[in-house]
Chain A
Amino acid sequence: AQSVAQPEDQVNVAEGNPLTVKCTYSVSGNPYLFWYVQYPNRGLQFLLKYITGDNLVKGSYGFEAEFNKSQTSFHLKKPSALVSDSALYFCAVRDGGNNDMRFGAGTRLTVKP
């Protein structure tokens, strides 16, 4: 079965600095990869996805992610962090077009002024 790992529980960055939230995955077929963000006591919001095509995917709020097949990674990045980016970020994976989406445990991003 597919799985995803987010190795960092917490990431702290200063406002204006670049940020990276890491994600690695495991699938037997073609990976469909996703990033979601969650603000306190709210549902998740979709940020971006990789299905096929260009390895660099751009999403909402200036976020982007790079698909790296050899390293089985899909790290989330942003060139300049904002305090308002502080939230819980989830990476998710599907094995090809199946219905079962697996989420990572989440990484809490804190951006300090």
Chain B
Amino acid sequence: DGGITQSPKYLFRKEGQNVTLSCEQNLNHDAMYWYRQDPGQGLRLIYYSQIVNDFQKGDIAEGYSVSREKKESFPLTVTSAQKNPTAFYLCASEQGAQTGELFFGEGSRLTVL
């Protein structure tokens, strides 16, 4: 079945540690996105990528990094520079042309201890 897979589903991290969240899609979609969800704030865009080897910052990119070496994969690294990393992280993909029909993964919940 086609879809987006995020891993891990739950992750605990100590302060000062970097952590990488995985996002893989087998939908052959061109565009991929990372959002952060906090209670009462909706979704905020961290990074997005329209094509392989290219990505752009969203509203809250500070303290995060991404790569897009393969069409299927768009990993997000939460660095120690991110001051408040505890959140629910959602990855999404879209088949080009800004159709708006984003396909979301099940999310990764990161907790910093």
Instruction: Please list the residues of chain A having a beta carbon within 8 angstroms of any beta carbon in chain B.
Output: 9, 32, 34, 36, 41-46, 49, 51, 90, 92, 94, 97-106
* A27 → B minimal CB distance (Å): 13
Measured in the bound complex, the distance between the Cα atoms of B105 and A44 in whole Å is: 8
Contact present for A90 and B98 (CB under 8 Å): no
Q: Does B112 contact A (CB under 8 A)?
A: no
Identify which of B40, B98, B100, B104 contacts A105 (C-beta below 8 A): B40
Contact present for B101 and A46 (CB under 8 Å): yes
Residue of B nearest to A105 (CB): B42
Write 9 A-B pairs (CB below 8 A) sorted by A numbering: A42-B107, A43-B107, A44-B104, A45-B104, A94-B100, A98-B98, A103-B44, A105-B40, A106-B42
Measured in the bound complex, the distance between the Cα atoms of B94 and A91 in whole Å is: 17
- 1/0 per residue, CB under 8 A from A, across B1-21: the answer is 000101000000000000000
